[in-house]
A = this chain, B = another copy of it.
């Protein structure tokens, strides 16, 4: 058996080293030097060219390098019936939790307002809100959202979560399905989007959603760009109804130079770096999962084809 590796540009060598450290006997084929396509039984990929994966007649499992699998699901020629595995590894989870905690705390503590005061050399205290009076809402309660929720509860925030199906998390108020969406938004002073991108969640953060938030709410957008209708987001920021946003993902990436988000004073902007898969811990997850599959045991974190994540 051989493992095909297709990473983003410039990352191939660090992945190769990490995979071989996790399994020194691994037959690794780094795309585009694939050798005999019939050898490939597993693939570990990030944005493979559309149609590329159908070239491997013996492909048994596709592993995604990132937490999201929309880069695979959007390929109309993806081989049918081959299981897809989401990336779940401690580095990726830790990174997302760090970024979301930082962003929630940044808005909770009025840091954009302090930055504006600073530009004018104004030394003035802004009345602080205790965490138990700050309502944080998390869209998506999977591995990432669940870990974020747990850490926010430990900091005494008033946390709610919204998910497709009911989920139980200690200390987290739960909302689910279309019927729970507006009541959930109504109590989200700081809204975090960690949903997977599917047909159902594309454009979910639109004018109607922003209008349902409390006045002055903040958005932390770290799922995928197409969750957000950017024109509606901009309009909500312009009126001040939405008070602030941290944006890590965008409709078009890299963000085009003409985007108004680049220098919007109520926006914190980062280049899709909220969480990066760490090759070392991720390679251990992939090798372990390959061994499970070879031993006939169920794959960990396989995608449910009906849900799409």
A251 vs chain B, min Cβ distance (A): 14
Stretch at the interface among A91-99, A165-173, A210-218, A225-233: A91-99
Contact of A154 among B91, B151, B156, B281 (CB under 8 A): B151
Q: Is there contact, CB below 8 Å, between B91 and A271? A: no
Q: Is there contact, CB below 8 Å, between B108 and A98? A: yes
- Chain B residue at minimal CB-CB distance from A123: B254
In the complex, chain B residues whose CB is within 8 Å of the CB of A302: none
Q: Is there contact, CB below 8 Å, between B155 and A271? A: no
In the complex, chain B residues whose CB is within 8 Å of the CB of A121: 257, 262
A95 vs chain B, min Cβ distance (A): 6
Stretch at the interface among A43-51, A63-71, A124-132, A194-202: A124-132
- Chain B residue at minimal CB-CB distance from A104: B102
Complex Cα–Cα for A128 and B255 (A):
20
Binding site for B on A (CB under 8 A): 90-91, 94-95, 97-99, 101-102, 105-106, 108-109, 111, 114, 117-118, 121-126, 128, 130-131, 151, 154-156, 253-255, 257, 262, 269-273, 276, 278, 281
A21 vs chain B, min Cβ distance (A): 15
Q: Is there contact, CB below 8 Å, between B95 and A128? A: yes
In the complex, chain B residues whose CB is within 8 Å of the CB of A255: 123
In the complex, chain B residues whose CB is within 8 Å of the CB of A270: 111, 114
Q: Is there contact, CB below 8 Å, between A114 and B156? A: no
Contact of A273 among B122, B128, B278 (CB under 8 A): B128
Q: Is there contact, CB below 8 Å, between B91 and A125? A: no
User: Other CB < 8 Å A-B pairs besides A98-B109, A128-B276, 14 of them?
Assistant: A94-B130, A94-B131, A101-B101, A102-B106, A109-B273, A117-B271, A118-B262, A123-B255, A124-B271, A125-B271, A125-B273, A126-B273, A128-B273, A154-B154
Interface core residue of A91, A98, A106 (most chain B CB under 10 Å): A98
In the complex, chain B residues whose CB is within 8 Å of the CB of A154: 151, 154
Contact of A102 among B105, B125, B257, B278 (CB under 8 A): B105
Contact of A271 among B98, B114, B131 (CB under 8 A): B114
